[in-house]
Amino acid sequence: MVVIERELTEPWEGVLVAPACGSGIGVVVLAGSSGRIERERARILAQQGMTALSIRWFGGPGQAPGICEVPLETFTAAVGFLRANGAERIGVLGSSKGAEAALLTAVHDPRVDVVIALSPTSRVWCNVGPGRDGAQRPYRSSWTWREQALPFVPLDDSWTPAKPGSGPVAIRGWYERSELTFAHLLTPAEIAVEQARVDLLLVAGGDDAMWPSLPFAEQLAGRRRLVGAPVRLIVRHDAGHRTRFPGESAASASPQFLYGGTPEADAALGAAAWPHILNSLRGGG
């Protein structure tokens, strides 16, 4: 399929990739805490007949340098952009912190029809990196809506890695410790997915070393099922934090973090999820 790729500079940095023949399906594609523009993922979706928009949602001109009090209006504006460019069905696909943003966008914007959340969280967490003021502490919410910070769970800075050293570390335990320390803050910070009128697809690996995305995904799915809302959970227990779709390059190793899983397991999870993702975006249920 012939696709057309356009660089964007306003109102955010990004890339728009669309079939030359046009499409009635639009997808907002969000990276996690890497902050990158997901060009390859947008291209793969466009090859499947969808208009894909990937934006830089922090760290760009006029944005906070970290994931700190990022306005959810950033993402609702992206939804509006796709609608203005002819999309009648809108999906938001995000990974990790991008999945957190995707879920929250669906809760606050009824124009979203489907969410694909890869390695998600079930609740709002504190900032990752500095805010507009350059400060990382005290902890603040990752997100705002209508200029009001969303309730969040901070991190317990008394946590230390099981094997401290100079190499990359698994920080899943940091989130698990923080859930215990700040148990009284968990309920206010829950993402109200039961209120979102969307088709929801969750993808999680049981060996995620960044945070416990499989338990989080199970919590999200459970809350949807309680109210009879549609949800599908795709799991592979040996996969890690970074699901890879068919045709995507393998994720590079990090000098700072361990992500869990293996390239083979992460690709197998992506391959298992891929037909369900396409079906959901196309409105097949």
> Which run of H or E residues covers position 232?
strand 231-236
The whole-number pLDDT of residue 137 equals 95
pLDDT tens digits along 174-187: 999 999 999 999 99
pLDDT grade for 285, boundaries at 50, 70 and 90: low
Place of tokens 């109210």: 227
Identify whether the C-beta of residue 30 lies closer than 8 Å to the C-beta of residue 57: yes
Burial of 99 (0-12, 13-18, 19+ CB in 10 A): buried
Q: How confident is the model at residue 253 (pLDDT cuts 50, 70, 90)?
A: confident
Confidence (pLDDT) at 162: 78
Are residues 16 and 22 in contact, defined by beta-carbon separation less than 8 angstroms?
no
pLDDT tens track for 90-135: 999 999 999 999 999 999 999 999 999 999 999 999 999 999 999 9
* Residue 160 vs residues 67, 157, 180, 210, 243: alpha-carbon distances, Å: 22, 8, 15, 14, 27
Structure token pair of residue 71: 């306005």
List, in order of start, the domains of the chain with CATH numbers.
3-281 (3.40.50.1820)
Per-residue pLDDT at 166 exceeds 80:
no
Partnered with residue 257 across adjacent β-strands are: 169
Q: What share of the chain is helix, strand, coil (3-state, %, to 5)?
A: 30, 25, 45
Residue 13 CA, distance from chain mean position: 18
Cα diameter, the chain: 55
pLDDT in tens, 81-90: 999 999 999 9
Q: Say whether pLDDT at 164 is over 70.
A: no
Positive or negative CA dihedral for 262, 161, 191, 224? Answer: positive
Predicted pLDDT at 284: 82
Q: Check if the beta carbon of residue 195 is closer than 8 Å to that of residue 226.
A: no
φ/ψ of residue 109, rounded to 5: -130, 105
